[in-house]
Chain A
Amino acid sequence: MSDTPVLAFEDVTKVFYKGSQPVVALEGLDMAVREGEFVSVVGPSGCGKSTLLNLAAGLSPAAKGRVVYRGKPVEKINTAVGYITQHDNLLPWATVRKNITMGLKIRKVPAAERAARLESYLELTGLKGFENHFPAELSGGMRKRCSLARTLIYSPEMVLMDEPFSALDAHVKMIMHKELLRIWDEQRTTILFITHDLVEAITLADRIVVLSARPGCVKQEMQVDLPRPRDPFTLQTSPDFSVIFETLWDGLKDDIYKGENV
C-alpha cells in the first residue's frame, strides 16, 4: 500500500491552443509523490509548473498520458487535495475570517472548533486583528498568508502549493518555512510544492524535481538527505546544503535563461 504513490503523472502531455497554434506546456512528464512525502518542483518560468498542479487538482485534462491519484485516474475535480494557487484567489467579498473558515464550514465543523482553529491560524499567519478585513484591504503578502491559512486549516490529505511564499520578504519567508515544516511534521500531509527558489526547495523538501524549459519534463530528480527537523535559519550554512545547491543549480542554470520572462 505504502508503495503506491499518492499522486502519479504517467507520461503526461498537456497542450494549449492559441487559435490553431498548439503550445505544448508539458511533454512526457513522469513523476510520482509518495504518501507523506514533501516534494518540491523547480523549473524556469513558463515551463508548466502551475499547469502540473492544475492537472493534479483535476482542473484541466491531460492531452496524453494519465494523472493518477491513489490508484484512480483524475477525471473530475480532485477534492482530496488542497490547492494554494499562484494567484491568491481569495473571495473578494468575504472577510479574512470567512475566507479562512470556508473549508471548515463546507466540512460542517462545529462553530466552536472553527473559532479555535481560526484563532491558531490567524496567529500562525500573523493576520490577527485583520479578521474583519476584506482581501482588498490586505497587502500582497498578507493575502498570500491568508490563502495559505485557508487551505491548511482544513487539513486536506495532500496539499498542492504554487509559489506560496514568493511574495514574502526573506525573513518572513523563513518563519513561514519553519511553521510549514512544523505543521508538516505534525500532520505528515503529502505536499507538492512549486517554487523557483532553490534555497526554499532544499530547505523544505524530501525530494526535488527539476523541470526543463517548456515543454516541461523531468530533467533531474534529487533526494534531499538533510536531517530533520531542519532549522531554516541555520540550514544554509551546512556544507551538505551547498553540495545539493551546486548540483541542482548546474542542472537548472542553462534552462533558466531559456525560460520566459525570467
Chain B
Amino acid sequence: MSDQAAGEIGAKRRVRAEDEFRDAPQSALDFMIIRIAIRLLLTAAILLLWQYASGRWIEEYWISRPTDVAAKIVEWWYSGDLLTHMGITAGEAISGFLIGTLAGGVVGFIFGWFKRVAEILDPIIIAIYSLPKVALAPLFIIWFGIGFEMKVILTAVIVFFLVFFNTYSGVRDTSRELIDIVRLMGAKTPQVLWWVVLPSALTAIFVGLRVSVPYALIGAVVGEMMASNRGVGFLLMQSAGQFDTAGTFAALLTLIAISAAFNESIRYLEAYLLRWKEVQR
C-alpha cells in the first residue's frame, strides 16, 4: 500500500516508458556490442600476426598459416568431411554429457539427500574418482569395441564424477530452514525436492556442468584418437600423422568451435534458470 500511495503522490513525476535512464537495458546492449567488437578486433590482430610471422620469424612447417588453415577448412567443408566428423564428435560428446549429467545428478541427489548412503559409499566413490578416467579407455575398448558407444561411455564416466560431486554438495548445502518451512506448509518429499532442493542445488550443478564441457570433449577426442576412423580426433591424428600442420590446426579450430558452441548453450541455460540471482546494483 505504501508503494501505491507513493504512486499517487508522485503522479506528476511518474516514470514514462519513453524516458531515458542511465541504467536502462539498452546501455547493456550497447556494451555487449562494444565487447564483441573488441573481441573481433583482437582475434583479427592475432590472425594477422600469425600470418605475418609464418615463414618470416618461424618456419611455416611448425605453425602453418591462417590462410592455409582456412583453405583446409574450406576443403573439408566441400568434401563433406568437416560436418561429418564434427557431427560425430559433437554427437559423442553431447550423448556422453547428457548420460553423465543425468546419472551424476541422480546419484548426487541420492547421496546428498540420504546422509547414510553418503557415509557408507563415500570412500568407494573417492577411490574411483582418484583414477584418471582416460586410463579407462583401453578397458572400454575391450568391453564396448571401438565404435560410438565406447566414446560415449568414456565421456559419460568423466562427466558423471564432475556433476556428481557438485550435485552432492549442492543438495547437502540446501538451507535446512527453507526445507522445514515448505514441509510445514504441507509439502511432501517430492515437492520439497522439486521446489527447494533442486533449485538450490542448481547453482552448484551448473558449476559441474560448466567444467564438464571441456572434459566431455576430452572423452570423445581421446577415444577417437585411440581407436577410430571417424571424428575430429581422427582428423587430428591423421593430419598430424601426415605432418600436415594446416590440417592439425584446422582440426583444433574445429574442436574450439564445438566447445564454444557447447559452452555458450550451457551459459544460456544457466542465465535463464538462475535468473533469480541476477540482482541489479
- Is B25 close to A, CB under 8 A? no
User: What per-residue 1/0 map shows which CB atoms of A214-255 lie under 8 Å from chain B?
Assistant: 000000000000000000000000000000000000000000
**Contact between chains at B184 and A91 (CB < 8 Å):** no
- Is A120 close to B, CB under 8 A? no
**Contact between chains at B178 and A154 (CB < 8 Å):** no
Q: In whole angstroms, what is the CA distance A83 to B1 when docked?
A: 23
Q: In whole angstroms, what is the CA distance A57 to B195 when docked?
A: 21
List A contacts of B173 (CB < 8 A): none
Q: In whole angstroms, what is the CA distance A106 to B196 when docked?
A: 13
**Contact between chains at B177 and A137 (CB < 8 Å):** no
- Is A115 close to B, CB under 8 A? no
Give the residue of A79, A85, A107, A169 whose beta carbon is less than 8 angstroms from that of B183.
A79
List B contacts of A129 (CB < 8 A): 3
Beyond A91-B196, A106-B191, whether A85 also contacts B181 by CB under 8 A is yes
- Is A172 close to B, CB under 8 A? yes
- Is B225 close to A, CB under 8 A? no
Closest to B196 in A: A91
- Is A70 close to B, CB under 8 A? no
- Is A102 close to B, CB under 8 A? yes
User: What per-residue 1/0 map shows which CB atoms of B249-281 lie under 8 Å from chain A?
Assistant: 000000000000000000000000011110110
**Contact between chains at A85 and B186 (CB < 8 Å):** no
Q: For window 103-153 of chain A, which residues contact chain B by CB distance below 8 Å?
A: 103, 106-107, 126, 128-130, 134-137, 141-142, 151
Closest to B1 in A: A126
- Is A23 close to B, CB under 8 A? no
Closest to B279 in A: A136
- Is B2 close to A, CB under 8 A? yes
- Is A81 close to B, CB under 8 A? yes
**Contact between chains at A81 and B182 (CB < 8 Å):** no
List B contacts of A142 (CB < 8 A): 3
Q: For window 196-230 of chain A, which residues contact chain B by CB distance below 8 Å?
A: none
**Contact between chains at A79 and B185 (CB < 8 Å):** yes
Measured between C-beta atoms, what is the minimum distance from A134 to chain B in Å?
A: 4
- Is B199 close to A, CB under 8 A? yes
- Is B60 close to A, CB under 8 A? no
- Is A72 close to B, CB under 8 A? no
List B contacts of A183 (CB < 8 A): none
Closest to A79 in B: B186
Measured between C-beta atoms, what is the minimum distance from A74 to chain B in Å?
A: 12
Measured between C-beta atoms, what is the minimum distance from B16 to chain A in Å?
A: 16
Beyond A126-B2, A126-B4, A136-B276, whether A77 also contacts B183 by CB under 8 A is yes
Q: In whole angstroms, what is the CA distance A164 to B135 when docked?
A: 58
Q: In whole angstroms, what is the CA distance A128 to B277 when docked?
A: 22
Q: In whole angstroms, what is the CA distance A107 to B185 when docked?
A: 9
List B contacts of A134 (CB < 8 A): 275-276
Q: For window 79-103 of chain B, which residues contact chain A by CB distance below 8 Å?
A: none
Beyond A92-B276, A103-B185, whether A87 also contacts B177 by CB under 8 A is yes
Closest to B280 in A: A137
Beyond A87-B177, A91-B196, whether A154 also contacts B2 by CB under 8 A is no
Give the residue of B2, B181, B195, B279 whose beta carbon is less than 8 angstroms from that of A89.
B181
Beyond A94-B195, A136-B276, whether A106 also contacts B187 by CB under 8 A is yes
- Is A166 close to B, CB under 8 A? no
Closest to B181 in A: A89
Measured between C-beta atoms, what is the minimum distance from A81 to chain B in Å?
A: 7
Closest to B275 in A: A134
Mind listing 19 A-B residue pairs with CB under 8 Å? A77-B183, A83-B181, A85-B177, A89-B177, A89-B178, A91-B196, A93-B199, A93-B202, A94-B276, A102-B185, A102-B187, A102-B195, A126-B1, A126-B4, A134-B275, A136-B279, A141-B2, A154-B185, A175-B1
* A binding-site residues for B, Cβ under 8 Å: 57, 59, 77-79, 81-83, 85, 87, 89, 91-94, 102-103, 106-107, 126, 128-130, 134-137, 141-142, 151, 154, 169, 171-172, 175
In the A-B complex, list the 10 residue pairs whose CB atoms are closest, starting with the nearest: A126-B1, A93-B199, A134-B276, A93-B276, A103-B185, A106-B186, A136-B279, A89-B181, A79-B186, A77-B183
